[in-house]
Structures are given as C-alpha cells and as structure tokens.
Amino acid sequence: MKDWQIAEAAEETLRPASGILRELGIQDCEWDAYGRYLAKVDVTKVLRRLGGGDATKAPKRAKYIDVTAITPTALGEGKTTTTLGLVEGLGLLGKKVIGCVRQPSGGPTFNIKGSAAGGGLAQVVPLTSLSLGLTGDIDAITNANNLAMVALNSRMQHERNHDDAWLSERGLKRLDIDPERIQFRWAMDFCAQGLRSIEIGRGGRLDGFNCQSGFYITVASEVMAILAMSADLKDLRERLSKIIVAYSKSGAPVTTHDLEVDGAMCALLVNAIKPTLMQSIEGQPVFVHAGPFANIAIGQNSVVADRLACALGDYVVTESGFASDMGYEKFWNIKCRCSGLKPDAVVLVATVRALKAHGGAPAVKAGLPLDPAYTTENLELLEKGCDNLLAHIDIIRRSGVQPVVCLNAFYTDTQAERDLVRKMAERAGATFAVSDHWLKGGEGARELAEAVIAACDRPNDFAFLCDLAEPLKDRIEKQVKEVYGGDGVDFEPEALTKLEMYQADPETARLPICIAKTQYSLSHDPKLLGRPKGWRMPVKDILVYRGAGLLVPVAGEIKLMPGTSASPAFRRIDVDVETGKVHGLF
C-alpha cells in the first residue's frame, strides 16, 4: 500500500479530537473544533490556568526531544516519519507523549518531496486535511504578508501622485520610500520560479508604483518566522509592527507600523497563533504549527506548541527541518534561546541510502529509479559516506548533547550495513538504534524509544554557540567554522556594507544569525557531499528580520523561492468524484 492508502485506511479508526483534548487536560473553553478530528488550542488560556494566572509560570514537566538528521538526498531521509515513529514507540511503552511537527507547505506537497506527514505506519492523520491547507495558517500568513506589500505599493503610488498637503488631509506623513531599497516581497505557497523576479505597477498613474519586485515561498516569509517565534498574541502583534519593508531615501527604516498595516496583519493571524491538534496513526496527540524549509527559513515547529506540549505531556518530540547544520543549529541557537526550553535528548536520523550518496554513489534524483548501488550491499561506499554522519554527531555534541543516532530502516538494508553504521556511530560516542517504524509503527520504534528514554535521563551540558554580544562577523565566521566545517566566510561588497550598517545599530547587532544555504551539503555548494574540507562560504546578502528578531545571511546560490520540477507530485493527485476523497498524496 502507498502512504496515502495507509493514511486513508487509518482514518476509519480516528479518535475524536474532543477525547484526546480531555486526556491532555485541556478544558472545553480552551479549544475550538475544526470538524470532528481537528482542533485549534488557545495556548495562552491553557498556560495561564496551569501557571496560576501567569502563562510564563506554567510548569515544564516533559522530557524535551528534538529530531534532526544527516545531510539528506533529494528524497529526504524520513525525519518526520521518525518523529512520528518515536511518538508511537513512546506511546507503546506507556508514556504520555505529544508530538510537535510543522505544517506542510504547498510547495513540496505539489512538487518533489510531497506532504510532510510522515510515512507508512508513522504518519499524522488525517492526511488530506494536513496536506491541503489544514486550518488555514499558511493562507493567513500569505495574506498578512501580501497585505503589507499592498500597503507599501499603494503608499508609494500616492506619494508619487500627490503633494504633502493632499497626504496630510488624509492623515498621512510622507515616508519618501526609496524604490531601490525595498526589502519585502510578495508570498505564495507554491514553488514558482517564474515569480522570483518581476516588475509590478506597469500602466498608468492609477496602476500602482512601477518597480522591481518578486515572490518568495510563504514559509520563507518573515511573517512565518514571527509566528514560529512568538510567545503569544501580544508578542505576535509587537513583532509584526517591527517588520522593515523598505528604507527611505535618507536611509531610515520603513516598517509595517509606519504603513499602519501591522494591526490588520495581526487580525489575519488571530487564529493562526493557535496550534492545531491532530494525531498519529496510533492515536497519540500531535500539535501541528508553523512551517518547514530550515534552509531558507527558521524551519521549526512553533515556540507556543512546544511550550504547551511540555506543560501537558511527559515526553515531547519536536522536529527541526533538514539536517543538523540547518534545522538543529537553528533549534539550538535561535528557538531554544527564544523559548527558554532546552533539549533532554537529540535524535539524529540517518539512512543507508543517504550515507551511500555521501560516499560517492550516483546522485539520487526524484522521480527516477535508484541506482543499484543503493539496493545492493556496498560497505565501501557506506563507510566512506559515514564521514557525513560523524560530522553531524560532532555538531550536536558541540551543543553539549550526546545524540541518539537512529538508522531509519529500509527493506534493502543488509545486516552488515546496519552493523557498520552502528559501529561508526558508537565509536564516535553516540547511542545507536535501528527503527522500523515505517513498516511496524510503534512496535518498530521500540528500540529507538528505549534508547531515547535512557538518553533523557542522562545530564547534558547544553549551551549556545555564541554570546549575542560578540560581533556579527565573528558569529557568522564561528558558525561556518565550528558547525559547517568551513575555513571562513567571504562577504560580497553588498553583504559587507549591510554587515557594517547592522553592526553599528546596537539592537540589530545582537540579533541571532539564521543562515540561508543549501540543505544538500554542509557547505554552500550542493555538489560538495560527505564532510567537505578546504572551502569558504560566500555571503552575497544579509537580510534583517527585525520582527522575527533574526539576521539572515544568504549564502551561495540559494533561492528564497524554490522551483517546480519537471515531474511534480501534482501530476499524480486527483479526486474520486463519487466519494470526494483525495488520492495520490505522499
């Protein structure tokens, strides 16, 4: 059976959301139903009650576990599947466990990777709801982002067409926006390479302001990062007002507050700040919130979802996007700094397939059959590729945590291959477990769950990579050298100019670093596989996300709007017009 068929069969035995919420101790006044199986939870109400009126004093009772991975192939290595398998495995062992995962983006769902629901018997259900918009969070983020762009372009048009007296009569002050220094873009939740760079406002005086513009995928929007990082609705509202959309001709930042659009943006996000309750195939609660793409975004499940889960469960399994150099690094140095939570254990997902790719096997290409090197035993390729595994073990150890390496089992793995990966992981000081959750669900993840429970009981020395008082340039260099394994950073002139400007502003100079780079290599170059040495990272631009509280160096040729492939998933998705059921999602 295919993943969507397994999910469809599982939906016949779904538990009503109301029953799961009662088991978690969430009261009826603290959630809103979205049909029978989905619910939006008001985190602030729950945490205030648990904290005796102060949400910040709600107790953290759960062991907190992050799931990350080695550098993936184009097919992904089952990080979400492993997250769900671990949730099911801990549930099988009688633990009160809650999963926290990110909402799938329409870009991957209709493109190469498909939905981020997990797979096999380790999935979030109902699959169709999860994959096709869920409870509207990403649509709300898209609309809020684009409302800011509407406000910006309209203001520029009116300032061009009218004098100060006309503006003053309407309660407006001239912002004198520099069309060459627009920082914000439009958003769309699809992979649309044709919209990366566009010209808008063509026509006459009433057709908007004519200028260069473009789109990024919604999950790369600063609004998505704000949703992921906000502590509550009040914090969300404050962060939205700080978004820098452009600069004036005198160099002053122009914000959403200056455009008087921040309140309306927040109105679009009132429900989006609330996580959505779903469930695993085996009935464990799962909070779905915020979005993916840790290569070009924060790529984390939300702070509010993790805080809520940690106050309600005994074990919480959260997920970070892509590999540990991307998702875990941002979890470690950005999300944990913001949330105040620290991990009790970190799971590092690996596959024999990805390790062989890093060892020099022919490239894995979506939509094409795997080379025989991936389906037959080849210990030489595998051992060479384990250099990538060892690099990711070192990254997690650099944070002060000893990882649990999980080999996500494929039926083509041989025992000798599994034994080799175990030997390499344990030699590096990591705990190791094989997990067959795709095929067997929670029972297949028993070994992994037991290893994670043991890891949670061991103390760790979790600490941030940098002090935010260190100079920006030093912090970027340190991340490239100590996390990615590079020799240093080369700033292009535009990036260096911005770096100096940001360093001169005391508030901006203390923002955490959120590097955007390829997910397919520890470096900026997707062709450099394994554990590359002797390279330097080129930074061509640095974006400031004042609302989210991030500085985003853009490295290499990474794009904030991905492209759609020649063989996208939408070719295989359709609807049974007799039943209305969607099929073909994966």
Residues 15, 283: contact at Cβ < 8 Å?
yes
39, 246, 294, 354: the catalytic one is 294
Question: DSSP states of 302-348 as a string?
Answer: -HHHHHHHHHH-SEEEEEBSSSIIIIIHHIIIIIHHHH----SEEEE
Tell me the CATH number at 256.
3.30.1510.10
Query: Is 438 marked active-site?
Result: yes
User: Which amino acid, one-letter code, is at 446?
Assistant: R
Residue 583 lies in a domain: no
Q: Does residue 142 sit in the same domain as residue 122?
A: no
Q: Residues 146, 268: contact at Cβ < 8 Å?
A: no
CA 527 to chain centre: 23
For residue range 145-185, list pLDDT tens digits in order.
999 999 999 999 999 999 999 999 999 999 999 999 999 99
Residue type, 496: L
- Is 581 within a domain? no
**In a 10 Å sphere around its CB, with 0-12 CB exposed, 13-18 middle and 19+ buried, how is residue 59 labelled?**
exposed
- Please write the tens of the pLDDT for every residue from 70-108: 999 887 888 999 999 999 999 999 999 999 999 988 887
Q: Are residues 293 and 390 in the same domain?
A: yes
pLDDT in tens, 411-470: 999 999 999 999 999 999 999 999 999 999 999 999 999 999 999 999 999 999 999 999
Tokens of 108: 């991957």
Decide if 225 is inside a domain: yes
pLDDT of residue 298: 82
Q: Does the active-site annotation cover 102?
A: yes
291 and 430 housed in the same domain: yes
Predicted pLDDT at 75: 79
Q: Are residues 294 and 428 in the same domain?
A: yes
Rounded to whole angstroms, what are the CA distances from 531 to 350, 360, 480? 15, 12, 13
Q: Distance (Å, rounded) from C-alpha 257 to C-alpha 240?
A: 8
**Is 79 an annotated catalytic residue?**
yes
Residue 138 gets which letter from DSSP?
H
Question: Active site includes 63?
Answer: no
Q: CA–CA separation, 49 vs 335, rounded Å?
A: 24
Structural domain of 247: 137-268
Number of domains in the chain: 3
Predicted TM-score of the model (pTM) = 0.94
What is the full DSSP assignment across 385-423? HHHHHHHHHHHHHHTT---EEEEE--TT--HHHHHHHHH
* pLDDT bracket for residue 124 (50, 70, 90): very high
Residue 565 lies in a domain: no
Note the pLDDT of residue 355.
97
Residue among 44, 71, 81, 83 flagged as catalytic: 81
As a whole number of angstroms, the distance between CA 528 and CA 517 comes to 13
Catalytic one of 31, 215, 322, 535: 322
pLDDT at position 114 over 80: no
Instruction: Single out the catalytic residue among 45, 181, 337, 410.
Output: 410
Given the residues 63, 79, 185, 237, the one annotated as active site: 79
pLDDT digits over 219-250, tens only?
Answer: 999 999 999 999 999 999 999 999 999 999 99
List % helix, strand, coil for the chain (3-state, nearest 5). 40, 20, 40
The CATH number of the domain where 534 resides is what? 3.10.410.10
Predicted pLDDT of residue 553: 94
Does 361 map to a domain? yes
Among this protein's residues, is 586 annotated catalytic? no
